[in-house]
Structures are given as structure tokens and as C-alpha cells.
Structure 1
């Protein structure tokens, strides 16, 4: 599979995903986080280093212990234990790889970053992730330039950077330096059961009029037409809402939001998108879902109680144990809101996501970068996709693979989009804005909020971040 870069060649996001996230120290304000991150003074001690060579371009010490922490969420952790760790151990058999997994990355790792005793490589994701921008600002994250300049593990003569989908490195770049590997190439859209649609003669809508007309039919059939989980998955919803905004006004709508431009959240395109989605929430949602977690609403989706569900392409794998026989995952782009949208209906939010970073103050940062090199090998990427049903940022890694219905559908959607894909970065740069967007979105969708109130609330939050001198600013 090949992916065409967007016009600005600067993919962004979550998060899956989003998904698609921010290395966070929970809801701690950035200033407090920075004080905690650097309060221990200096590094944790001498760094493990070996001799650099053609076979060992990053200078890994062959018997140095490597500690990694993986978020155990929608992607699971078997890709690490069954693919990437064995690959690393094969090359460095004397090295002990210390592995652990968690669903609360920030809770578990905050004390370790505060004391400058972090693990070497971290998968920063989940609802309790860490504030990635603040970690970069605090000097806790390793510059990955050497990794991307190194030769690929299994594509001789090619640098790692040349094996990646365009935009990958930019997605994890903070003020011109690459600090984060966003590994999973996630496609976002509205997910549905193709078998249910075929049974009822329903067709995936392309316009907003078709969307609401179908929602009326679905509601008449006794099914909730559209929903998401308010307890921890509101970013799924604000993501599709901002996708609509980008389609209405063009991708610069999102770029202006990222860059904290004056009035960016008050743009007409954002208001129009918020108005359209507020109507969906009021007429076709389920207010009882405000207090539910993502897996609870996803289970109702699998049970045929919810028709459309917004999410990223990790969804199929996350629900594998609960998906009944005959359920056929499919995904569609958000419908066009107006007849004059600047981007076509086929345009999608798609980006490198699922953040992995090396701790600058870990004991073995060279081993951490090497571990990422194994993830970015063609075999490492292929194994990841086979186990997770999610694409990676490694070009051609799915060639020849027999893939699942959901992955087939998302791949087809991405192909149809061509060069019309885009993303934002404010959620990983400024956790305060991500938190506020989740809360404001729930108010809009579940509590009868208005588009103007949403825009006012988000603009106020963005202005506060812009004026806060303790928060480092990033631009694209």
C-alpha cells in the first residue's frame, strides 16, 4: 500500500488515536508537570553505549538491559511480546528486555519521570496518557534524528526515514526536531456493520441530507443512529467534528487551530461543523451514553443497538473478542456538510498516531532507539498489522497480506481519499486544549450546548494557552 502525502506534508495526530494522545502526567497543569519532571536534577546515571558499526549503526551496548512500557489498549501488547522484543533479542541475545504493560501510562510513569528514573522506551497512549509537549519541553525526550538517519534493519541501502510514509517524521516533530515516533497509521471515520446495512438496504451516505435521512430510518427501526462514549472517548467525536470543519473550510482551519491563531476556533467552518453535529447529537444520539466508556458503547455497536460509531482503525482489533459472527466492520468518511465544501466528501482524517518515544534520561536510550528501528523494519511492521489489524507508517508492509474486513474498508477509504487527508496536532501539543475539547464536545452533543458556546469556550481555552508563558509553543 502506498499513501500520498497531503499538500503540506505534515500529517498529525491520535491519539488513534488516536488514539491518537499526549504523554501526559494526567490532568496536571503543564507548569506543575515541568517542575515535577526536572525536579530531580541531572540524568539517572551513565548511559549504556557500544561501538557504532555498519551492523550496529546506533551504537547499542549488546548486553545492556532495555526497559520498555507498552500501553495495553485497543492494540493489545502481543505485537511487542511476539514480534518486536523477539526481533531485538535475536540481534542482541545478551540483552535482557524488561517488559511491562499498563492501561494508565501517566499514573504509573509520572513518579519515574519526576525522579529521572524512566524506562527506556514508552508507548504513550490511552485516556491517562502523559503530556507529550510538556515532556519535550522538560528535556525528558530523546531526539530521534539518529534513528531516522540510520540504515533500515531489513531494507539494505535505505535509511529508516526513506522507508516511511511521507509526513511520519513531521507528525512527531516539535520545533524542527523529531522526538516521537507515531507508528500506527490510523484512518478515522464513521464505523458501521456492513451486514446490518445490507440486510436493511441502507447505503453509506455521502451528503448531510442523506446522512440525516438515513438516521431517521435507523431510528424508526429502533436502533440508536449515532453515538459515542462520553466518559472517555469524547475526542472521537471532536475529531470527526473537526474533520467536517476541515472539509468545509479547507485544512488550514486545523493548521490555524494548531498554531493558536487569533480567532481560529471562531472560524465559520468550525461553527458550521459544530451546528451540524449538535443536531445529530440532539436528534439521533443517546444521552445515557454520556457516562459510558468506549468499550461499553462499542459493545452496543456490535449488538446492533448503535448504527454509526466514530473511531479510528484500531476499533476492529479492540472489539475482536466481542464481535459476533456475521458482524462485518466497515468505515465511511464523514458526509459533506454543505454543497460548497472546499474538500471532497472522500477526504479523511488520517495520520501517523500511537506515540512511542525514548526517554532521554533512561539508562539505555540507544537501545530504545534500536527497539524503534526493529518496529520500523518491514517484518516488524508486517507482524504488527497481522496482530492488530492496523496499518503502520512503513511503506509496503501490508503487501501480500490477507487483511480483515475493517482493515480492507479503511484501506479502501484511504485510497479513495488520494492526497486529501489531513490531521491536527493541538491535542498532543497542548493537553489543556485536548481536555477542554473533550468536555466542550460532551456539552455540545449530550447537554444541549450550542455551536457558538462551543466555539467561545474553545477560543477562550486556546487564548489562555497562548498567553501562558510557562507553556512552550509549537508551530507547523
Structure 2
């Protein structure tokens, strides 16, 4: 991967950056997941810190399997100063919180913003972008990406085929049948070995569109019989239709995220669910004329939820371990990372959005990013998230496994719902699991 350009833009504002955490000379030990966003932006933020604090060196180590590689350091009491805790192998946040491993980031939120005069760091973040990293009212992580997720397809290929993007899920199924009859492509594929792409991007939105936020709130709060709500039955049965009617590309279940996305780029399937990191993750294999774009999950004409709501949330969670050697340095790195300077670099080079006010000002956006921003603007601030999978690792593992089984016909919708309710009841009844509500 190309080396990040020098952070020359920081030079003019370095004098105003300050040092609110009293970071001492020495090293900031950073270990970061390098996935769809790559690691150039991580290096760029490090250069911002080093430019502002010449006696500080930011160590950048990029890894893939966060839990496997960092769990031993947590156990030994020698964790890094700042971590990008992301990817399929992340360390469950709820587990780290329960073990008192994370620093409360209230001081970071209250600190002066890096390059926005008169504002605190917290003031510059998009409202609602940090909720998934709040546990018991405390901010234990910072989401550095504003992820807009939806259904992706090649705009020119879609239009050349004469297709019209569906407004409702019923229309989606009708279109899938037409694509299947045309016989040139499968209607759908998804990241088969990582089912959270399809339940976290499609199923959760169908639940919301059918029943509104009250249904999701009941799931988050582990309420008795929450999973028996008609909206969940409807959403689960509708998602299952993709498998049951043969609309999913054969072999999808055995593919990794990049493998399924590669097959999609080859034209083997029309639709794939993903977040707006997709463009950057697949930039080296995307055909020049593919012109990928993203659209919302089609809802229900008679649904209770806001049908313009979008699957958008803060993600790519960075944490500062409480037992890190240089926690002040860890917070200072995050202060630089979520600056306007860094956010603009992120928009132009990673083709993704940071939840930073003014972060895309003057940035040249890709077509996929423009479409994602349009979805967010069209939602009028209504963004849907589920918390129970983030709060309870057992629930996250269960829905991942069971969605994989649902999407391969191993279990039927009623069985999926029954199993999930049973697991929710087990978690609710376990006194050793700390509970959260909203």
C-alpha cells in the first residue's frame, strides 16, 4: 500500500493545537485493524500528531486479527495506547467494559477540538454517531467512521438491463425473479462467511421498516417475548425468500467478504449488501466502468417505521486501554484523527466519511460516496441501529450463526426466531452479564 502523504496541511495550525492532555515526549503505541479502510489514513493522523508535537513518535502497527493478537497483551497488563478494535476478529466491547479494560473518554470529549476553534472535540462529532460505544452512560470508544450501509450495484449495468430499483421489498422480490429468469446473473450475493453483513444491513432495516423503533428497543432491552413481534416474523420471512426462491448466487455461503465482493464485481450477481467502505476495499479490483452505487433497503408500503430511514451509524471503533502506558497519547491521537484535516483526507483517499462536522468541505467525493451522502440527507437524521449485538457478545455470536443457517435453508424463519428468543432469555437471566437498556 502506498505510503500516506506528508501531513503538510497541519503546519499552519500546529501552533493552535495545544496539548490538553499534557502528552510527554516519547512514543504513542498504536495497533490498528487494517481492513476496508486500509491504513494510510492512520499514518496520516500520526503525522498530524508528530507535526504538532515534534518530540512525540506515533508507532503504527497494522494487523488483521485484533483479538487473537492483542488479547495476550490485555491479559499481561501491557496493552497498546490506542487500538482500532474492528474487523471480524475484534474484541467484544462489552467484554472489555466488563473487565474494566477501557478508559472513560469523557476528558477527550471535553477537550478542545484539534482544528475547530471554539469547539470541544465532542461538539464536532455527528449527533448519535457515538452511541454504540456508550456503556452505562460512559463513552468507552470513539467511532471514527460514519458508515452508510445499503444495497450496492453497478449503475450502468443496472440501467443497461432496463431494471428499476425497487421501492418496496415486494418489488425487490419481483425484480429478483426477473433477474433470475433473464439468466445472466444471480440476483444477490453477500459476504457468506460473515453473516453480520446481511442481518446487520438488511434484516435489521426490514424489522424497523415493518414495526418501527419500538420493536428494536424491545430486542435491545431483552424484553420477554420480544422476538415474537409480528414485525420480526415478517422481516425474517422476507429475508429468507432470497434463499428459498433461489435468488442467492450459488456458493455464496463459503465466500469471505472480499471473495464475494470480487464475484459481484465480475458481474456474477446484481446486488450485494455492504457499508461505504466497499469502494476503497475493492478499489484495486473494480473495473473502470463498473461505477458502483448504493441504495437504501426497500421497505414496506404499510410499515410502521420511517421508510426513508437509513442504515447509518458510527463504526470502526477506536479504544484507549485503561492500562496503556501512555493513555494521554492515545487520546491525543484520537483528537487528531477526528480533526477536519484528517476527515478530509479520509473522504478523498479512503472514500468514506468521518462523523466530523465540516469533514467533507472542499473534498472531491466519489460517485458511491455521493450516493451514500444523499441517502443520509434523505433520511433527515433518522438512522437505525441495534444495540443488543454490541452489548452482549453471546447475542452477537448467536445471530451470526443462525443467520448463516437461515440463509442456507438449514433452519426456517420460525426456528430462527425461537432460537434467538431462547438465547435472549438466557442472557437476560444470567446474573454475571451486565445489562444495558435504552
User: Normalising TM by the smaller chain, what interval?
Assistant: over 0.9
* One of 305, 321, 330 as aligned partner of 1:368: 330
> CA–CA distance in 1 between the matches of 2:131 and 2:383?
15
**Pairwise CA distance, 1:136:** 1.0
* One of 273, 286, 298 as aligned partner of 1:335: 298
The aligned residue for residue 121 of structure 2 is: 160
Question: 2:283 matched to 1:320?
Answer: yes
> Which structure ranks higher in relative contact order (CA pairs < 8 Å, sequence separation ≥ 6)?
1
The aligned residue for residue 371 of structure 2 is: 409
**Pairwise CA distance, 1:448:** 4.7
Give the TM-score taking structure 2 as reference length: 0.93
The aligned residue for residue 195 of structure 2 is: 234
Aligned with 1:192: secondary structure? strand
What pairs with 1:103-118 in structure 2 (closer than 5 Å)?
A: 103-118=64-79
> CA–CA distance in 2 between the matches of 1:70 and 1:161?
22
What pairs with 1:167-182 in structure 2 (closer than 5 Å)?
A: 167-182=128-143
**Pairwise CA distance, 1:272:** 0.4
> CA–CA distance in 1 between the matches of 2:346 and 2:301?
40
**Pairwise CA distance, 1:423:** 0.7
The aligned residue for residue 215 of structure 1 is: 176
Question: 2:87 matched to 1:87?
Answer: no
> CA–CA distance in 2 between the matches of 1:445 and 1:280?
8
The aligned residue for residue 429 of structure 1 is: 391
* One of 141, 145, 149 as aligned partner of 1:188: 149
The aligned residue for residue 263 of structure 2 is: 300
The aligned residue for residue 446 of structure 1 is: 408
The aligned residue for residue 202 of structure 1 is: 163
Aligned with 1:309: secondary structure? strand
**Pairwise CA distance, 1:287:** 4.3
Q: Which runs of 5+ in 2 are unaligned?
A: 1-15
**Pairwise CA distance, 1:361:** 0.1
Paired residues, what number?
420
What pairs with 1:55-70 in structure 2 (closer than 5 Å)?
A: 55-61=18-24, 63-70=25-32
Q: Which runs of 5+ in 1 are unaligned?
A: 1-52
Contact 1:343 1:420 in 2 (8 A): no
What pairs with 1:38-53 in structure 2 (closer than 5 Å)?
A: none
**Pairwise CA distance, 1:193:** 0.8
> CA–CA distance in 2 between the matches of 1:344 and 1:170?
20
Q: Please, what is the CA RMSD of the aligned residues?
A: 1.4
Aligned with 1:390: secondary structure? coil
* One of 325, 348, 352 as aligned partner of 1:386: 348
Contact 1:287 1:446 in 2 (8 A): no
CA deviations over 1:278-301 (Å, ceiling 9, x no partner): 011221113411111111110011
* One of 223, 228, 232 as aligned partner of 1:261: 223
Contact 1:149 1:160 in 2 (8 A): yes
> CA–CA distance in 2 between the matches of 1:259 and 1:220?
43
Aligned with 2:192: secondary structure? coil
Question: 2:58 matched to 1:97?
Answer: yes
Question: After the TM superposition, which segments of 4 or more aligned residues of structure 1 sit over 3 Å from their partners?
Answer: none
The aligned residue for residue 23 of structure 1 is: none
Give the TM-score taking structure 1 as reference length: 0.86
* One of 238, 243, 250 as aligned partner of 1:281: 243
Contact 1:375 1:381 in 2 (8 A): yes
The aligned residue for residue 350 of structure 1 is: 312
> CA–CA distance in 1 between the matches of 2:172 and 2:157?
16
> CA–CA distance in 1 between the matches of 2:263 and 2:17?
53
